Structure 1
Amino acid sequence: MMKKLLFLPFFLLLAGCWDTNQPERMYYLYGIGIDFEDDEYVMYAQIIDFTNIAKSDQPNPEASQAEVGVARGRTFDEVFFNLYKSMDERLFLGQLEYVIFSEEAVKQHKGKAIVNSFIRYRELRYTTWTYITDAPLEEVMLTTPIINKAITLSKVADPTNSLKQSSLIQPINFREILINLDEPSHSAIIPFIEISENWSTDKGPDTVYSIESVVLVNLQDPYKGHLKGDDVRGLQWMTEKTVRSEITVKMDGFADPYVTNVVQSIKPTIRPIINEDSIHFELDVKCVVEGVESENQEIMEKLIKKVEETMEKEIETTYKAALKMDVDVFRLSETVYRKHNKAWKKMNEDGVIPLDENSIRSINVEVVKMNGERVISNRKDSQ
């Protein structure tokens, strides 16, 4: 009896290890690209080699950082099982950092169905970043950062780092998309990936990611349209998530005809104006600007005025561009729902307040601080 008791702890330890997974016997899924063609889902699965990149942010240039496998299927789940057929080890999904949808898959209304399929896998996290592209998915997923940085540090896998320097396009994850797609008045603003060759090495062009535009999707119509160029710039002035961005204006009185200013600390406010049979909105934005300093006070005040007017114009341009796609890009309806629910119940149509080009009564941008310590304002009510 005593001998049996002595061996009992060892049996308990062995029993606890029987269902564990050995890390070296698994592949780690890091990114997924999803297309839809010929009535089939096409998945591009990116497997990365952690042994090559774990010890340094500059991996061995002779070794591949990632491989991309391709599988097809009639359903999204079938695609995974077809992918398993060509794999030697078990696939671990808990390291998935991003998903890229092809623009065609979103246009064919497959986006939400795929997201819903994803969240059934218990290993997946709701913090997975999401993108859309019209570039070849395999090419996008084999693109590595500049100067051979680790693929785990790319703009797609880790968008928050470069966002601190330039916040034009905000990243979005699964959790935020699910919230947006479950509300009639919401639209998801999803970053759009392009392939750029504006970098070069001694071996030739160095292909990199570029994110300069967004795609709008919502519950009623999964693909509303594409905001790019000047049409997208107003987004950054209507969110407190903007850490740092730039605005360039044409100004006399400086050495160069154009002056670039760094904009920070964005504080937007949406104020609904409720009437008996209509709702209008006033948009107020306060911000801090770091600009080129001049000893001429009059010139500095003109610069501030020019910055404010340019930002107001960019907000208006973005609003009208999205309105043509039937998108409430600044979530004006949500503001009414939260602050004036009785008016929202009376005037909403299918969960949305009807908007037109005149729904925004005014846009007022105020620079409350210029050049860090110098407080300048051309408005009487500034604090």
Structure 2
Amino acid sequence: MKVVKLTGILIVLLVITTGCWNMKELQNISYVTAIGFDYHDGKYVVYLQLLDFSSVAKLEGQQKSKEAPVWVGKGSGASFTEAANHLYETSQQRVFWGHVSTLVFSERILKQNKFQDVMDLLNRYREIRYLVWVFSTKEQIEDIFNTTSFFNESPMMSILHSPEEPYRQRSIISPIRLYQFVMTLKEDSRMSYLPALRIEKNQWEVSRKTQPLLEYAGITVFWNNRYHGNLGLDDLQGLPWMHKKTVRVPLSLERGKSLAAVLVMEKPKARIKPSVQDLRVYFDVELTIKAGINELHQEMSEKELIDLAERKIEEQIRHTYRKGFERKVDVYNLGESLFRRYPTVWHRIEDENHFVLHEDSLRNIRIHVQLTSTGRYKLKASQA
């Protein structure tokens, strides 16, 4: 009798516990991979990029015959939540936010300081992680989201979602994650920035047709927790030499109005030493960089080559400092080194915008280029 009762109980338990009642099939969920934020005519505008994840994964050796599909949705409302609910009205499946890897802000929402409302919401919304990449753009966000990569690959293979590998090859503008942006945004002693994206339409072709691709346009600058304008690529020539994450930078050297050499510079290490005289701050920079020769077009000695490289790097560093100072932006975060070492002095000399620099604050720059590879080129012997 006990065996019969026990068997009956087990059967009942098996019936009521078998299966996952709330299970959702993967193919029945829409996965958001990027979110765009705009503000226009008094309303928040939200763009969603959806990808078919079967287009992301592929078998080894498999060639994709058609372009990966990209879905872009647009919703608007008095708040971000209303804009998202507007998108839900036409969503054919449940929308899942846990796979978002990128956020893009339009210049309009940044200029009007409405991005602060978005940041506050992101801080409260648990599905979107602080590890997502963040960018700004002057382009239409739907155009950014519809720009694909090489070989019919998924947009996940573009700098919109995977900016680290291109940066390791050419370290001009370091990509920024959301937590890094939030961490620096409210600091009085330093600049915060977003990499700015644009669409290049004429550099690449596929089957004789131009192929638009994403590239960096510069950076969008924030100071005192507010939008502070933009710096273009030409303004940022010296930024890689002073950035601690720089991996690899090409350097073209001219002599006598013609190309002399092309070097590859790697892993610069900058030391900044602040000092104050008569309530005016000065900074001395010491920079060490490894270099290798890619091309050599003029005969010269190792010393001549190194001198040429050191002069060019110093020119670029000072050029970027001047461009930043014209906009009252501390591009190299020099003031932060003063704040960390002498906070009392920093507070004494800061102005109403927490700016401590003057035109001649960047005083001495000492650069040490170490030639580690000649690329099999034979350099001229140095004269004694």
**TM-score, normalization by structure 2:** 0.88
Using a 3 Å threshold, how does the CA distance of structure 1 residues 230 and 62 change in structure 2: closer, same or farther?
closer
Q: How does 1:1-383 map to 2 (within 5 A)?
A: 1-3=5-7, 5-7=9-11, 9-10=13-14, 13-14=17-18, 17-56=20-59, 60-62=64-66, 64-197=68-201, 198-220=203-225, 222-251=226-255, 257-275=259-277, 277-291=279-293, 299-349=301-351, 352-371=354-373
Structure-2 residue corresponding to 1:380? none
- Output the amino acid matched with 1:83: L
* Post-superposition offset of 1:372: 6.7
1:246-273 alpha-carbon deviations (Å, 9 max, x no partner): 11111369xx733211110210111111
Question: How many corresponding residue pairs?
Answer: 371
- Output the amino acid matched with 1:154: S
* Post-superposition offset of 1:3: 3.8
* Post-superposition offset of 1:52: 2.7
* 1: CA distance, partners of 2:126 / 2:295: 54
SS at match of 1:304: helix
Shifted more, 315-324 versus 170-179: the winner is: 315-324
* 1: CA distance, partners of 2:334 / 2:315: 18
* 2: CA distance, partners of 1:353 / 1:225: 16
Structure 1 stretches lacking a partner, 5+ long: 377-383
1:280-304 alpha-carbon deviations (Å, 9 max, x no partner): 111111100112587x996321121
- Output the amino acid matched with 1:257: L
SS at match of 2:169: coil
The question of whether the paired residues in 2 share the 8 Å contact of 1:180 and 1:218 is answered with no
- Output the amino acid matched with 1:100: V
Using a 3 Å threshold, how does the CA distance of structure 1 residues 315 and 10 change in structure 2: closer, same or farther?
farther
Structure 2 stretches lacking a partner, 5+ long: 380-384
- Output the amino acid matched with 2:204: W
* 2: CA distance, partners of 1:9 / 1:364: 77
**TM-score, normalization by structure 1:** 0.88
* 2: CA distance, partners of 1:4 / 1:337: 74
Shifted more, 363-372 versus 128-137: the winner is: 363-372
1:16-41 alpha-carbon deviations (Å, 9 max, x no partner): x3344432221100112222111111
* Post-superposition offset of 1:115: 2.1
Using a 3 Å threshold, how does the CA distance of structure 1 residues 124 and 252 change in structure 2: closer, same or farther?
same
Shifted more, 4-13 versus 152-161: the winner is: 4-13
Using a 3 Å threshold, how does the CA distance of structure 1 residues 102 and 351 change in structure 2: closer, same or farther?
closer
CA-based RMSD of the aligned residues comes to: 2.7
Using a 3 Å threshold, how does the CA distance of structure 1 residues 241 and 7 change in structure 2: closer, same or farther?
same
SS at match of 1:291: strand
* 2: CA distance, partners of 1:34 / 1:116: 13
* 1: CA distance, partners of 2:55 / 2:370: 49
Using a 3 Å threshold, how does the CA distance of structure 1 residues 234 and 27 change in structure 2: closer, same or farther?
same
SS at match of 2:279: coil
